[in-house]
């Protein structure tokens, strides 16, 4: 196969996960900190609702009006916004929502700007659809996020801009003023904003703002995979302006027919299990504190400020210039599975690792001990 659409880069987290699972099948221990998923499952009451739905509800193609209404209400609770339920387009995860949004909004050949480092599926889906990713080099001086000045300097302006706050892999968030400035420059230059808000609800110290607060014409994407701990259920949504509703529904019906029926029943109940879900966020906060202190003590001091999500993005260029090989060696020696920064940054990613702390606190403590022992052995050899 040839052509631009065939040139989709590998997803290294999947490769490391495969190696970790092979290790598990050999009976060797593994601590999974390479993939971006909570170790906890869906809330208990939501699972119970799933059992009832599996036994008593029809399982054909279906969209839950009650779930769309509940998601619309969430925007009132979190952001004091009042979208209509029709603006909620249910999808097969945030990944399915992104595919729909890009297919509806842009013609092949359109350029879409996005930060680097950033979630690899964003640029890879752009390429798969015949769109052109225009990466913005975002380093520690801008907290690994794009700025309004960067967007204003693009000539000609791109057709779109993908933002992620909190970010994967860095966990950094865009402040209110930065979101407002980005919205203003994009409005002035005719740039459509796609805001990936998958990690909203998982923040430390301050809440995240939705781009819908600043730009009603933005398209917002979210998922039940992270805050609601429903990764394998493959359910998400796009919140779209009214003028895009019909097109989004037509594309969704043709590309996916309907999102998973059982997952919709589970998600509706999961949305009201805040006490249990906030316990998970408290665990992430504790894990984050332990991990940051431990890395500091191990000499891994250059890190992105993890405002939200459940990742540490750390510079290990003083230890290696090939973080993928380094992660493989660490996994083979200790069973600690981390991800290379090459997934998120094709230029500088070999100097970085991404560490997920969405595991249990005992696993964090064990991983710290194993990593510390391995690094000391390497330094002594």
Query: pLDDT tens for residues 205-216?
Result: 899 999 999 999
pLDDT at res. 151: 98
Task: Reduce the DSSP state of residue 220 to 3 states and report it.
Answer: strand
Domain-ending residue, one of 270, 291, 315: 270
- Over 80: is that where the pLDDT of 3 sits? no
The residue among 226, 254, 270 that closes a domain is 270
Residue 361 phi/psi, 5° resolution?
-60, -40
Per-residue pLDDT reduced to its tens digit, 294-334: 999 999 999 999 999 999 999 999 999 999 999 999 999 99
* Residues 200 and 234: beta-carbon distance below 8 Å: no
Residues spanned by the domain of 231: 57-270
Instruction: Write the CATH number for 346.
Output: 3.40.640.10
Predicted confidence band at 1 (pLDDT cuts at 50, 70, 90)? Answer: very low
Is residue 91 one of the residues assigned to a domain?
yes
From 223, 242, 270, the end of a domain falls on 270
- Helix 93-105 vs helix 120-128: crossing angle, to nearest 10: 40
pTM (2 d.p.): 0.94
Same domain, 253 and 286: no
> What's the whole-number mean pLDDT along residues 158-169?
98
Residue 296 confidence (pLDDT)? 97
Band the pLDDT of 163: cuts 50, 70, 90: very high
Instruction: Find the radius of gyration of the CA atoms of the chain.
Output: 21
Task: Please indicate, yes or no, if residue 48 is contained in any of the structural domains.
Answer: no
Is residue 46 assigned to a domain? no
pLDDT tier for residue 4 given thresholds of 50, 70 and 90:
low
CA-CA distance, 19 to 244, in Å (whole number)?
42
Give a yes or no: residue 174 inside a domain: yes
How many domains are there within the chain? 2
Does residue 50 belong to any structural domain of this protein?
no
Query: Residue 52: inside a domain, yes or no?
Result: no
Judge whether residue 6 has pLDDT over 80: no
Lowest average pLDDT, out of 55-64, 75-84, 284-293, goes to 55-64
Segment 195-204 mean pLDDT:
98
Is residue 358 within 8 A of residue 38, CB to CB? The reply is yes
Residue-level pLDDT at 377: 87
Examine residue 352 and state whether it is found in any structural domain, yes or no: yes
* Joined tokens for residue 271: 């949305």
Is the pLDDT reported for residue 381 higher than 80? no
- As a whole number, mean pLDDT of residues 244-270 equals 97
State whether 140 and 244 are in the same domain. yes
pLDDT for residue 345 is more than 80: yes
């Amino acid at each position: 196969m040839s052509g631009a659409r065939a040139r989709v880069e590998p997803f290294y987290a999947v490769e490391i996960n495969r190696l970790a699972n092979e290790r598990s099948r050999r009976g060797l221990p593994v601590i999974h900190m390479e993939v971006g998923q909570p170790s906890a499952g869906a809330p208990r009451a939501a699972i119970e609702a799933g059992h009832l739905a599996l036994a008593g509800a029809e399982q054909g193609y279906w969209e839950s009006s009650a779930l769309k209404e509940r998601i619309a209400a969430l925007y009132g609770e979190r952001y004091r916004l009042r979208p209509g339920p029709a603006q909620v387009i249910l999808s097969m995860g945030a990944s399915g929502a992104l595919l729909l949004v890009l297919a509806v909004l842009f013609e092949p050949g359109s350029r879409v700007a996005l930060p680097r480092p950033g979630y690899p599926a964003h640029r890879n889906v752009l390429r798969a659809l015949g769109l052109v990713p225009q990466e913005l080099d975002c380093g520690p001086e801008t907290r690994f996020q794009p700025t309004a000045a960067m967007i204003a300097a693009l000539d000609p302006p791109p057709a779109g801009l993908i933002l992620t706050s909190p970010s994967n892999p860095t966990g950094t968030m865009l402040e209110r003023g930065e979101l407002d400035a980005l919205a203003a420059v994009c409005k002035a230059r005719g740039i459509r904003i796609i805001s990936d808000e998958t990690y909203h609800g998982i923040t430390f110290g301050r809440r995240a703002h939705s781009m819908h607060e600043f730009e009603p014409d933005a398209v917002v994407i979210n998922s039940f995979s992270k805050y609601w701990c429903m990764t394998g259920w493959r359910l998400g949504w796009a919140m779209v302006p009214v003028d895009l509703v019909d097109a989004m529904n037509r594309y969704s019906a043709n590309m996916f027919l309907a999102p998973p029926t059982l997952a919709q029943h589970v998600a509706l109940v999961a949305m009201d299990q805040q006490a249990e879900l906030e316990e998970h966020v408290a665990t992430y906060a504790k894990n984050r504190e332990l991990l940051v202190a431990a890395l500091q003590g191990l000499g891994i001091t250059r890190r992105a400020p993890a405002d939200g999500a459940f990742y540490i993005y750390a510079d290990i260029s003083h230890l290696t210039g090939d973080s993928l090989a380094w992660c493989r060696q660490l996994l083979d020696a200790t069973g600690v599975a981390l991800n290379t920064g090459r997934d998120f940054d094709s230029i500088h990613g070999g100097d970085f690792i991404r560490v997920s702390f969405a595991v249990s606190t005992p696993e964090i403590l064990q991983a710290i001990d194993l990593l510390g022992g391995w690094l000391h052995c390497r330094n002594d050899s």
